[in-house]
Amino acid sequence: MHSGKESPRFSTPIVRIATGGIAIGIAVMIVSVAIVTGFQQEIRAKVIGFGAHIQISKNDDNHSLESEPIDINAFYVGEVRDLPEVEAVEAVASKPGIIKSGDAIEGVVYKGLSLQYDSTFLIRNLVRGRLPALRADEASKEVLISSTHARLLNLDVDSSFVMYFVQDPPKARKFSIAGIYNTGLGEQEFDKRFIFGDLRVVQKLNRWEGNQAGALEVNLKDFSRLDELEATIYRMVPADLTADSITRRYPQIFGWLELMDTNVYIIITLMLVVSVINMITSLLIMILERTRTIGLLKTMGATNRLVMNVFLRQAARIIGVGLLAGNILGIGFCLLQDASGLVTLNQETYYLSVVPVHLELWHILALNAFSFVVCLSILLLPALIITRIRPARVIRFD
C-alpha cells in the first residue's frame, strides 16, 4: 500500500520494455519479409531472363543443348500470343561450342535472338559496351559475352574471337564483342554458360529455314500463374511439342528460393513469442500492482468482464504503440536500403551486390493484424487472474 505521495510504479519500465519488444519484433518481421521477397524476386528475374517463364520446344528425350527446329509461324503460336496472360512470345535457338582466345579455351552456349527479342533483361545487366546490332539484311557477327567469359578468356569490348560449333563436321565462326553483361550468376550455369548473338547464325549453321527456331520463349505478365499457364499452353501445342516452365527446367534454384519462406516463418514465430512473453509479463505486473483497485471496483459492483476489458484495452494500447513504432523503424530501414544500398553483399556468394528489399502493402498489413490479434488473444489467459481476485481478502490485507 502506498502512503502519502504515490511512488513510481514498478510496471512503468516493464511497459516500456514490452512496447520496445513489440516494436523491435514487428520491425524485424517487416525487414525479414521484405528482404526475402526482394531476394526471391531478384534471383527469379535473373533466371527467367535467361530462359523466359515457359519454353516451347520439340518433345524429345535427348536433353541436349540443341533441339529439332520448330515452325515459329505455326497456327498455335498466334493462339498462345493472344492469351491475355501472355506478354510476349519470342523465337530463340541455342548451339554449343568452344571459344578459343589465345591459349584460353572455354565451352559456351551461343543463344541466338530474333530481331523482335525484348532485350530489357540484357540492357539491365549490361556493364560495358552495347548490345549486338541486329540488322534485317544480314546476320550479325557481334555478340554479348559475360564478365566471367571476359575474365577467363582475357577479352573485352571490341575484341574478337573464334568459336568452334559442335557438329559434324565442326564449323568455326569469328565474332566481335559488342558488350559485356554481368548478372551475378557467374559461377552457376548462366553467366558462365551463355553468350548472346543473332538467331540467323544458328539457322545458317543448322541449315534451317527463316521460319524455324530451336524454341519459343513465352513471357507471362504474372509469375503466380505460371503452373496454370504451363498446363494451358501444353494443351494448345501439337503432340510433338512440349511446354516446360522455368521452375521445371531449374528445380534446384526455385526449390532453394522456396526454402527461404521457411526462414521467414521461423523468424516471425520467434518474434511473436518474444512479444507475447513481454506483454504477458507486463499485464501480470499491472494486474498485481492494481489488485486493491480491482477489489474496490468489484466491491462497487464491477463485473469480472468489465475489469478485464479495462486491462485488455490498456494492453491493446501498448501493442498499438509498439506496432506503430516498429512499422516506422522497419519500413524506414527498407526505404533507406532501397534508396542507398547501404548494406552490401558478396556477389560471388549471394549472386547480388546489395541486399534487396521489396515492400508489399498487404504483407505489412497482414503482419500487423496477425501480430495484434495473436498478442491480444493470448493475453486473455493472464487476464483471467482478475476473476480469482476476491474483494474481501484484498481489502482486509491492504
DSSP string, 172-238: EEEEEEEEEE--S-TTTTTTTTEEEEEHHHHHHHHT--TTEESEEEEEES-GGGHHHHHHHHHHHS-
**pLDDT of 1 over the 60 cut:** no
**pLDDT of 6 over the 80 cut:** no
260 with 145, same domain?
no
Could you say which of 238, 272, 287 is where a domain stops? 238
Mean pLDDT of the chain: 88
Nearest to 233 by CA among 69, 58, 77: 77
275 with 311, same domain?
yes
177 with 265, same domain?
no
Instruction: Give pLDDT, residue 7.
Output: 42
**pLDDT of 63 over the 60 cut:** no
Q: How far apart are CA 331 and CA 350, in angstroms?
A: 23
327 with 377, same domain?
yes
- Does 2 reside within a domain? no
219 with 263, same domain?
no
Q: What are phi and psi of 193, to 5 degrees?
A: -110, -45
For 337-395, what is each residue's pLDDT tens digit?
A: 999 999 998 887 888 889 999 999 999 999 999 999 998 888 888 777 777 777 666 55
Q: Which residues contact 114 (CB under 8 A, 6 or more apart)?
A: 90, 91, 92, 199, 213
- Does 248 reside within a domain? no
- Does 358 reside within a domain? yes
330: left (phi > 0), else alpha (psi -120 to 50), else beta?
alpha
- Does 245 reside within a domain? no
262 with 223, same domain?
no
Q: What are phi and psi of 354, to 5 degrees?
A: -130, 160
- Number of separate domains in the chain: 2
> Of 27-36, 105-114, 185-194, 254-263, where does mean pLDDT reach its minimum?
185-194
- Does 356 reside within a domain? yes
184 with 95, same domain?
yes
For 308-332, what is each residue's pLDDT tens digit?
A: 888 888 889 999 999 999 999 999 9
225 with 311, same domain?
no
151 with 232, same domain?
yes
- Does 297 reside within a domain? yes
Domain hosting residue 307, numbered range: 11-45+254-396
Q: How far apart are CA 142 and CA 165, in angstroms?
A: 16
67 with 209, same domain?
yes
